[in-house]
Structures are given as C-alpha cells and as structure tokens.
Amino acid sequence: MKQLQTRMFSLPHGMGVDTLFKKLSKSFVVEQSEHEISQRCYYDTFDWRLHRNSLVFFSRSNSLHLERFNGKQVAMASGRRRAKFFWWDIEAGELNYRLKSLIEMRALCPIIEIQTETSQFRIMNHDRKTVARLVVRNDQLKETDSGLPEQVFVYEIRGYENEFETVVEQCRRKGCLEVKKRKLLERLLKLSGLNPRDYGDKFKVDLEEQMSVGAAVSKICLSLVDDMRTNHPGVIADIDSEFLHDFRIAVRRTRSLLSLMKKILPTEQCIYFQSEFRWLGSVTGPLRDIDVYLLEKEDYLNLLPPSLKGGMSVFFTRLEARRAGELKGLQFHLGSERYDRLLNEWCRFLSDPDSELFRSPRDQNCRVYANSTIVKRFRSFVRAGNKISDESVDQELHQLRIKGKKFRYLLEFFKSFYHEEQMTTFLKFMKKLQDNLGTFNDLSVQQNLLGSELDGLRAKNLKTIRFAAALGGLIAVLADKNRTVRGEFEATYADFTRPEVQELLESMVSATV
Amino acid sequence: MKTIAVYSSKGGVGKTATSVNLSFTASAGGERVLLCDMDSQGAASFYYRIKPKKKFNRARLLSGEFYEFIRGTDFPELDLLPAHFSFRNLDIAINDEKKEKKRLVLASLLAPLADQYEYVILDCPPNVTVLSENIITAADCVVVPVVPTTLSLLALEQLLKLCKKVGVKKNKILAFFSMVERRKLMHNSIMNKYRSYPIFMQSYVPFMAEIEKMGMYRRPVGSTPRKSVAAQPYELLWQEIKERRLEQ
C-alpha cells in the first residue's frame, strides 16, 4: 500500500496562519481539533555522540524520546527532565539499551530547551469528512525572544490524494516555503548559536608544510591547552568520568611531546614544564584510577560466580566513598594558584613572539624534523620490542607499552604532514599491538590493586571473609586472562614488525604531500 | 492480522453499529484496523462519512485491485473499505468461481493486507449465501449480535448449521446479546436461559438512544469529545473478544 505523504512549509515572514485558512476555507471546512503547549529539552553528550549518529534525545513532559534527525522515533521511555542522564538512569527497555551502546559512560546534558505550541486542524469536505490534517507549529527557544518561523505540516489521509494535493497547492500559492528535510534540531542549534560537534575525541591539528618546529609545537600544545580548558569545568562539576579522562589525555600528550622533543626544546623551560605537568598528571591520577574500577564494575561482577558477587559490593561501596574524597582533592588542585600559573606560563611560552620556543634551532623545518624523529623513534621501539622474550619480566612489557604510546602520539602530532590513508593504515597496525600491551598492563595493574586490597584485610567477620574470597576469585580470573594476553604478544608483535609495515612507514615519511 | 466478521443472517440486530463501534475501539488502542463494509447498503461507510471512489466496484474488489480504494476515517489508525452498490451481487459473482476456490475468495483477497493491519473487521450483509460461507471461512472469529428474541436465536442456530456444512469449527462463533431492553420480560428470560452457554459472551449491548443516534451524528459513540456511556459496552465486548478468541 502507498506510503502516506507529509509536507512541511514555513510561513512567509509577516504572514499569519489565518490568511492561509481564509484561502483554504473556499474549498474546505477548516476546524481546530487540538491545541497544545509543550516544553522540550534536547540533550547530548559533551562530545556530541548522538549528533554524530544522526540522533536526537529529548524530554517532553513525562516522556523521554530518541529520534532520528528526520523525526522518526527510535525508542521512548517514561521519565522527566533532569540536569543530566546516564543510560542507567533510564528505566530498563529499548531506550536504555540503545543509549548504553551509544553514549557508554557519558552523561547526556541539556543543550537546548524549547517551548512548542501546536494547533491541529481538520480539513473537511462538505460532508464534514476529514480529508487532510494540518498542524501549525511554533517553536521558541526558552528564556529568549528568538524562535523558528511558524511551520505548517500537511498530512495526507488515505484515499484522499486529490484533496491533499489541493491543500498543498494552496499553501504554495500563499507563498509558504516548502521545507524539504525536517532537521528541527539543526535549525534550533543554528538559531541558538551552538556549534555541534565542536568537541570530539580525535586529536587533530593541521600543520603547514613550511612550518618551523617552534610554530608547530606552539600550535599542537595550544590545542592541548584548549582541550584541558574545555574539559576543566566538567571535571570540577563532576558531570561524568570522561571529562577527567580527556583532560588527562591532553596532559599526557603534552608530557609526551616535552619528553619526545626535549633535545630540541630549550632545556631549562623543558625541565620546568615537564616537572609541572608531571605534577598535574599525578594529582589527576588517583580519581581516574577509581573511575576505571567503577566503570568496569559490571564486568568485574560478571567474572565472578553468583556466590562470590555479594562479597565484592563492599569493595565498590568503599571505592565510591574514596572517590568523593579524591574528587575534593582534585577540585582543590585544579582551582589552585599553581594550576593557573602553570597554564598561564605555558601559554606565554607557546605564544609569546619573543619566546625561546621560536629561536634557533627550533626555527628549522618541522616536516624534516618530524621525518627523522619518527624514523628514529620507530627504530628505537622495534629495538626494545625485539628484546622481549618469554623470560622477560612484566616491567619490560610496560616500558615497551609506554614507548609505543609516545610513538603513537608523535605520529598523531604530525599526522597532517603525511598521506592520510597511509597514516590511518599504519596507526591501525600500531593500535593492534598497543591493544595487546594495554590489556596486559591493565590486567597487571588491576591484579596488583586487588592484591594490595587483599593484603590489607583482617578476617574479622564473615563479610570480610566473603570479600577476600571474591578478591581471590577475581585475581585468579585476571591472572588467567593475563597469561592468555601475554601468550598473544609474540604473534601480535611479529605481525607489526613485518617488512610491509616498515616499508609503509618509510614510504610515508619520504613522500611529499 | 486477525479477521473478525460481524455476522447474522437476520437484519436489524445491530451488526453495523457493532462493526463501527468495535473498529473504533480496536483502533483507539493504537493498533491498525481496517473496517470492510461488505453490505451494499453502505451503512458503515455512511457512519464514517466515507463515499466510495467513482472507479470502485465489485469487479475491482474481486480482482484484488482494491487497496487504492481503501480510505482513511477521521481516526488515525482506522481505515475503511467502503461498500458499493454493486456488492449486492457479490455472492453471484463469487458463485461463478471454480468450486474448489469458491469458499476461499474472500480469504485470499484479505491475505495480502496482513502486513498493514492488525485487525480486519467485516461488516456483513444479512443473508445466507456463498458470501456468508466465504465470511465464516476467512474469519478468525465470527461475532454474532443476537437480540433476545426467538427469531434472532433461530438465525444463530442457522449459522451453526452453516458452519457444520462448510466444515468450520463452531468455536469461531462468539454471540452476544444486542439491543437488550431490561424492562422487557422476554429479553430477561431469554438472556437468563442462554447467557451461560459457552457460545455467548458475558458482555452485552443494551438498547440505547445514543447508538440509534449514530445515524444522525455519523460517528462512533466513543468518538465524542466527552466520551458517551454507550461506548463502554463496546469496549467490554472488544476486550472479551480479544481474550476469548484473538489472544489465544
């Protein structure tokens, strides 16, 4: 059967809907059926995860909706407007399930709030049979005077195609402009001056071919400062765990750059900033460590048999209490004079034209410098990797992981100098190896933490004994997993050091863009 | 898709009022419903203010090319296939079909609608013809309005005979008392006698002026802005039909 049509129109500026009805009433009887005023609040994560998937989430009176950009509903649930939503705040069902994979640990925060006034009209023939429906809609941004032009929606009723076409034609004749795609949120964002996808998880800095080392370092590091400043309010307000995560990534990237380029950067300043960013890394670390455990709570519990799950709840309750204390400490550090001074001095160093950063030898061409540094770092990484054998201790693998991470950051800093496709392929090879090393490291760290928790226990009561049993169970499972991951290292590393991968890197650095 | 035929060989028992109100009640729950007006008088179409398109007729219906003639009612989930005057000879046309196909004409016409509607409700004409055989074969449930009078009960008996002849299980049939006037002794005594029979539903529809006035207002009783009390018996009836036959 034929799909029923809907047409959307924008009323011309200054024209009221009455003018249109006057025209329509020559052929039809027009009667208002319903009138409604509703509030809507649109949400997205800080990194626009829903927008990136062409989805819209909003609350309307007592319900929550997930829709596509074209207005087609994906899922809904009951719930009222609130300051933020995690997926677990929404009742179990389709919406909760969809959001879990879309937004993961991120919070949905309000982006736009509107008041919508809709009036429904029945367009009837002389028998007073409804032959088309018409909805007039008025969207206003809350707490402002601005709104979208009044919109008219015409809905077809099955079997009344001619009448529908007549109504559409009369709308056109009255100067109504047809709106092809719905994209209501896009128009509201534009109206409110918000720029969607202004923040993302991918690091991207465009460097010019002729840039000096100093200018490139300045551009890269100022972009990282920007990331820190953007995430800072979210960390302080403790909106979700990813603000701190992204903040720490920006700090880690900065530290990697200082360490990777220490030979070319002015020694005194480099040592000073390395030490200050190390401090920033250390004060943000404890809270992140706790977040990692809390985020993996479900996975941890799933590793245990039902009889031991209860024991672990003590651990998580204690972690949550500890988190509150760590957050206070972090809020203090990120509001401190030392933090402000660090960022101010760092920005001055990066942008002051008289800064040491722009003097010789940092005035040399950055692309040439990047080529040789990338090759050197790659060789150094491979040399370290070749030394790993079955007898190597865990620490050696951790060192290799850190070396690999720095090398990946280096590639990402200078990504824009190179052929995009080649770089993406090389980074994919790199990621596979790093995933193996990263998982190995995570499992080791987790075992150590659980081990130290176990060491600190005194068997005072049954609760503690149950907790100890759960910890023991987890450590055993993690150790087993660790062995498997360690066993996979050799094959993963061999795959990365294939001649093709090396050739890919060489061809990439020798090519001109 | 489930097909519900509202049928009785006796006229004036409230078939059309039942079809119109049941289809409205069913669609008000958000499920897609098609009401087929099989009676050439076109009373159900009249109640919904729908006229057939000019090109529609019996031949179009029987050729299977009738989807474009389905029309939307004033209610979002409810469509209607209007009746046409030429439907008066529908049974004759069906009779011309080959013997082995004769009773399956309607069932095969409705089958392609399965992905469009949850329920198809047939408002049937009052007769016992090959069309009636088609109706009881195609339906998942045959709803029979019975006025608590002897003649109406005879019509039910006749339907049971027809089921036997056609080879349709009797449990498809669900009867209910229609146009009940509690002040009438005969209505009370017939209801008391037959209500406990498994073929009868517990819900019944009283005789109400508001149902009669549907012809004036041309809309189902449940669709008025302040919902009429006359809508309630149909809601209960629909609930019982669903529980007893459709949700099995």
Residue contact A159–B74, C-beta within 8 A: no
Q: Give CA–CA dist A450/A448, Å, rounded.
A: 6
Q: What's the pLDDT tens digit per position in A58-85? A: 999 899 999 998 888 999 999 999 999 9
Residue B209 has pLDDT above 80, yes or no: yes
Say if CB B32 and CB B162 are below 8 A apart: no
In this prediction, residue A47 has a pLDDT band, given cuts at 50, 70 and 90, of very high
Angstrom distances, CA of residue A319 to CA of A297, A314, A323, B217 = 11, 9, 6, 69
Residue A409 has pLDDT above 80, yes or no: yes
Three-state secondary structure readout of A64-116: EEEEECCCCEEEEEECCCCCCECHHHCCCCHHHHHHHHHHCCCCEEEEEEEEE
pLDDT band at A313 (very low <50, low <70, confident <90, very high): confident
Q: What is the mean pLDDT of residues A192-214?
A: 86
Do A159 and B49 count as a contact with CB atoms less than 8 A apart?
A: no
Are B71 and A159 inside 8 Å of each other by CB?
yes
For B194, the token pair is 């037959």
pLDDT computed for residue A323 by the predictor: 95
Q: Which positions in chain B touch A157 (Cβ < 8 Å)? A: 71-72
CB atoms A1 and B70 under 8 Å: yes
Ramachandran assignment for A423, one of left (phi > 0), alpha (psi -120 to 50 degrees), beta (any other):
alpha
Residues A166-177 have pLDDT tens digits of: 999 999 999 998
Asked which of A33-42, A226-235, A387-396, B34-43 is least confident by mean pLDDT, the reply is A387-396
For range A373-401, the mean pLDDT: 92
The distance of B42 to chain A (nearest Cα, Å) reads: 15
Domain A6-192, CATH among 3.40.50, 4.10.320, 1.10.3470, 2.40.320: 2.40.320
The C-alpha atoms of residue B177 and residue B148 are separated, in whole angstroms, by 6
Q: What's the mean pLDDT when you consider all of chain B?
A: 91
pLDDT tens-digit profile of A446-478?
888 889 888 988 877 888 888 889 889 889 999
The CATH 2.40.320 domain(s) of chain A lie at 6-192
Complex-level ipTM beyond the 0.85 threshold = yes
Q: Do B194 and B163 touch, CB atoms closer than 8 A?
A: no
Scored b (16 or more CB within 10 A) or e, B12-43 reads ebbbbbbbbbbbbbbbbeeebbbbbbbbbbbb
Q: How far is A158 from chain B (nearest CA, A)?
A: 5
8 A C-beta contact, residue A205 and residue A225? no
When scoring B71, B73, B74 by the number of chain A Cβ atoms within 10 A, the one with the most, hence best to mutate, is B74
So what's the pLDDT on residue A203? 85
Q: How confident is the model at residue A204 (pLDDT cuts 50, 70, 90)?
A: confident
Q: Which candidate from A127, A128, A159 shows the least CB-CB separation from B72?
A: A159
Asked whether the predicted pLDDT for residue A11 surpasses 80, the reply is: yes
* A346-372: average pLDDT: 93
Q: How confident is residue B127, by pLDDT bands cut at 50, 70 and 90?
A: confident
Interface of A with B (CB under 8 A): 1-2, 122, 127-130, 157-160
A127 and B49 within 8 Å at the Cβ level: the answer is yes
| Of the candidates A47, A318, A22, the residue with the CA atom closest to the CA atom of residue A170 | A22
* pLDDT surpassing 60 at residue A513: no
- CB of A254 closer than 8 Å to CB of A280: no
- In A, which residues are within 8 Å of B68 by CB distance? 2, 159
pTM: 0.73
Whether the per-residue pLDDT at A507 is higher than 50: the answer is yes
b vs e for B153-169, b when ≥16 Cβ sit within 10 Å of the residue's Cβ?
bebbeebeebbeeeebe
Give me the CATH code for the B2-246 domain, please. 3.40.50.300
Residue A297, by phi and psi: left (phi above 0), alpha (psi -120 to 50) or beta? alpha
**Is the backbone peptide bond immediately before A306 cis, with ω within 30 degrees of 0?**
no
pLDDT band at B119 (very low <50, low <70, confident <90, very high): very high
Three-state secondary structure string covering A322-348: HHHHHHHHHHHHHCCHHHHHHHHHHHH
**What is the C-alpha radius of gyration for chain B, rounded to an integer number of angstroms?**
17
Q: Do B69 and A159 make contact, defined as CB atoms within 8 angstroms?
A: yes
- Say yes or no for a CB contact (<8 Å) between A157 and B72: yes
- pLDDT tens for A208-260 read 989 999 999 999 999 999 999 999 999 999 999 999 999 999 999 999 999 99
The dihedrals phi and psi of A456, each to the nearest 5 degrees, come to: -80, 0
Mean pLDDT value of segment A260-280: 95
Give the Cβ contact number of residue A433 at 10 Å.
23
Judging by beta carbons within 10 Å of its beta carbon (0-12, 13-18, 19+), is residue B52 exposed, middle or buried? Answer: buried
State the average pLDDT for chain A: 92
From edge to edge, which strands make up the β-sheet containing B33-37? B71-72, B78-81, B33-37, B119-123, B2-6, B141-146, B173-177
> How many contacts (CB atoms, under 8 Å) link A and B?
32
- Asked if pLDDT for residue A52 goes beyond 90, the answer is yes
Whether CATH 1.40.20.10 fits A204-364: yes
Number of alpha helices (DSSP H) and beta strands (DSSP E) in chain A: 16, 9
Least confident of A215-229, A306-320, B93-107, B162-176: B93-107
Tokens of A313: 């709840």
What pLDDT, on a 0 to 100 scale, did the predictor assign at position A462?
A: 85
The CATH T-level fold of domain A368-513 is: CHAD domain (1.40.20)
- Cβ distance of A129 and B74 shorter than 8 Å: yes
Distance, CA of B16 to CA of B42 (rounded, Å): 9
Residues 6+ apart with CB under 8 A from A428: none
User: How close is the nearest chain A Cα to the Cα of B178, in Å?
Assistant: 29
pLDDT for B227 beyond 80: no
Residue-wise pLDDT for B181-191, tens only, equals 999 999 999 99
Confidence of residue A201 (pLDDT cuts 50, 70, 90): low
- A160 to B116: CB separation less than 8 angstroms, yes or no: no
Looking only at the bridges linking them, the beta strands covering A6-10 and A177-179 are antiparallel
CA angle A183, A187, A190 (to 5 degrees): 140
The helix (H) or strand (E) run that includes residue A233 is helix A213-237
Do residues A67 and A55 lie in contact, with contact meaning Cβ atoms separated by under 8 Å? yes
Alpha helices in B200-248 (DSSP H): 209-212, 214-217, 231-241
Q: Where in chain A is the domain with CATH 1.40.20.10?
A: 204-364, 368-513
Average pLDDT over residues B108-128: 92
